[in-house]
Chain A
Amino acid sequence: MDLGYLSVQLFNGLVNGAFYALLSLGLAIIFGVLGVVNFAHGAVYMLGAFAAYLLLQQVGIGFWPALLLAPLGVALLGVIVERLLLRRVYGLDPLYGFLLTYGLTLFIQDAMRLRFGIQGQPYPTPTELSASVSLGVVGYPVYRLFVIAFSIAMCAAVWFLIERTRLGMVVRAATERGELTRALGIDVDRWVTAVFAFGIALAALAGVLAAPMRNVAPLMGSELIILTFAVVVIGGMGSIVGAVAAGFLIGALASLGAVWSPALENVIVFALMAVVLLVRPAGLFGAREAT
């Protein structure tokens, strides 16, 4: 097995992992504070990519400003959705939040399909990052390395926010011991809208990062969300570090496994999930059985 190919696969895996990590991080934070598993997370990722695409097409705003503006815009949409819809299912069985956001997913995806068609739209790689570097014998696009680095930096920033700030303390407490946090008199609900918007923004950011690599298309997030669910089941949703670590780990493992059989890259993720369910049903980093 030649080393160049292996390292390309490893980096490809880390790129996938970068997306898993950003998405599952947002899912975990939202679930922790709202008690809702956001099925629409994949659709939000798609909206982030479309926001970047539209900014470029309609207003001429490029990749770097879009990296900030697109998540902000989508997060604003998230605020409206939280206030109007999600708010009504708090405290109910989490299945209702799941169904509600599934309905939202269908609605958003098909609305975008009506407007933009099923075909993917290309998005240019920012010129500063369009070169490629040599990995031994083969070249590797700089942009992909940037995605890995940026995602790691982002996750580290979120980690810092959560470990070192007052808001972070609330989120951490609510994610790990929701009922107890409320019982101690901490007003978790005050932070609900902000936390939802933040989780949404992370998914939209992942979408912007994906735009130059993958075609911007209405269904681009529909398979990713299912893979992300598998990552979340493997990592355990009760832990924020776990969500990120599991994301990168699974991305890398699946890609390395694909060296052996390329067709099975995605299947490997689900096989890993099966193994984890057998050996450690609560997830690698999950301490308790959450329902």
Chain B
Amino acid sequence: MRRRDLAFLALGIVVALALPRVLYSALALRILLWALFAVSVDLLLGYGGMLSFGHAAFWGGGGYAAALLAKTFELPFPLAALGGIACAMLLAAPIGYLAIRRRGIYLAMVTLAFAQMLFYVANEWRGLTGGENGVQGVPKILPGLSVGRTADFYYAALPLVLVGLFVAYRIVHSPFGHVLVSIRDNEARAQALGYPTQRYKLIAFVLSGGIAGLAGSLYAIGNSFASLDLLHWTTSGSAVLMTVLGGMGTLWGGAVGAAIVLLLEDSLSSVTEAPGVVTGAILIAIVLGFRRGLLPEAGRAIEWVALRRRGG
């Protein structure tokens, strides 16, 4: 790890620890978990070159599974989240297997469609999911500690989120991650070098789904509620928006994007019921104006300023 990375790590942890002190705790928790969700999208988009427009399937699939486990068996929330991760990965395997048979824009459409299929299934399978009512009254349990208050739950969930982020970081900086990037850049060449590219892509898809499942599990338990919103296609869209806003291929950009979008939506919620007017306009501006995203653009700006100062 380089010094710059260490500095960022320290900064990130300080921000994560301070967040519920600065904002109200429900918003802080939302930012924390959406940040992890967006990172899982970037793992696939930025490093595998696969735009999943259906990550709500794993966020929501994990969320429902964890909520049901926590409610039915009164499991401690880390165990329920483990179940949520498993469920998300089980969903990601067949969806990923089918989706990676197409590339680029088609892959985006396929993932969007399968996530919507899951939405319809959850809507109809009322016996399990409660349909429109969702799964309500999910308990937050941790033996020996009281985590019922959102602020307490935030600090209890933080280590799990950090593990999720660390796993994403390790994946990207492992030999596996490097092969993934080479597939993104030139799949035919990676294939010619003897890498089973389809298998690499599928594994990346399932891992990314698992991380999204962790985020969704904690989100559902943290809100004591799993609803159809978790699976809605705009949920996938928001995660992609955050990733692109922060900067794809930066891994942490999504976290920055998540914070910006959620803070914005929160401050808009008192003004309007239709935040899409603002978030939509932001996405348009990003695509047209600074395609690299905020994190890389900010990095360039800082370097530029530093260069000017050094030059005198």
Contacts and interface: CB of A to CB of B under 8 A. Distances in A.
A122 interface: no
A2 interface: no
Contacts of A274: 98, 114
B277 A107 contact: yes
Interface string B42-54: 0000000001000
Contacts of A75: none
A273 B272 CA distance: 38
B120 interface: yes
Interface stretch (B7-15, B82-90, B101-109, B172-180): B101-109
Contact of A100 (B109, B120, B283): B283
Contact of A98 (B105, B279, B282): B105
Interface in A253-291: 263-264, 266-267, 270-271, 273-274, 277-278, 281, 289-291
Interface in B95-118: 98-99, 101-106, 108-110, 112-114, 116-117
Contacts of B35: none
A277 B101 contact: yes
Given A106-B276, A267-B121, 12 more contacts: A37-B108, A95-B108, A100-B284, A100-B287, A102-B241, A104-B280, A110-B274, A114-B272, A223-B116, A267-B120, A281-B101, A291-B103
19 contacts: A96-B287, A99-B244, A103-B241, A106-B277, A106-B283, A107-B277, A108-B280, A110-B277, A113-B276, A222-B233, A226-B113, A229-B109, A233-B109, A266-B120, A267-B124, A274-B98, A274-B114, A281-B102, A289-B102
Contacts of B280: 103-108, 110
Interface of B: 51, 98-99, 101-106, 108-110, 112-114, 116-117, 120-121, 124, 233-234, 237, 240-241, 244, 272-277, 279-284, 287-288, 291
A271 B98 CA distance: 11
Given A98-B108, A289-B103, A104 B284 contact: yes
Given A37-B105, A100-B287, A113 B274 contact: yes
A197 to B, nearest CB: 20
Given A103-B281, A291-B104, A232 B273 contact: no
Contacts of B110: 233, 273, 277
A62 B45 CA distance: 47
Contact of B273 (A95, A113, A289): A113
Contact of A106 (B99, B113, B237, B288): B237
Contacts of A189: none
Instruction: Classify chain A: how many residues form its interface, as a range.
Output: 35 or more
A290 B101 CA distance: 11
A93 interface: yes
- The 8 A-B residue pairs whose C-beta atoms are closest, nearest first, are A110-B276, A106-B280, A103-B283, A107-B280, A110-B274, A270-B117, A106-B276, A229-B109
A111 B276 CA distance: 8
A182 interface: no
A99 B273 contact: no
A109 interface: yes
Interface string A195-232: 00000000000000000000000000011001101101
A96 B291 contact: yes
Contacts of B281: 103, 107
A89 interface: yes
A99 B116 contact: no
B274 A99 contact: no
A94 interface: yes
A85 interface: yes
Contacts of B109: 37, 229-230, 232-233
A95 B110 CA distance: 14
A88 interface: yes
A291 B98 CA distance: 15
B130 to A, nearest CB: 15
Interface string A64-103: 0000000000000000000001001100111110111011
Nearest to B237: A102
Given A107-B281, A291-B104, A229 B113 contact: yes
B113 A233 contact: yes
Contacts of A94: 104-105
Contacts of A103: 241, 279-284, 287
A108 B272 CA distance: 15
The CB with the most chain B CB atoms within 10 A, among A114, A270, A290, is that of A270
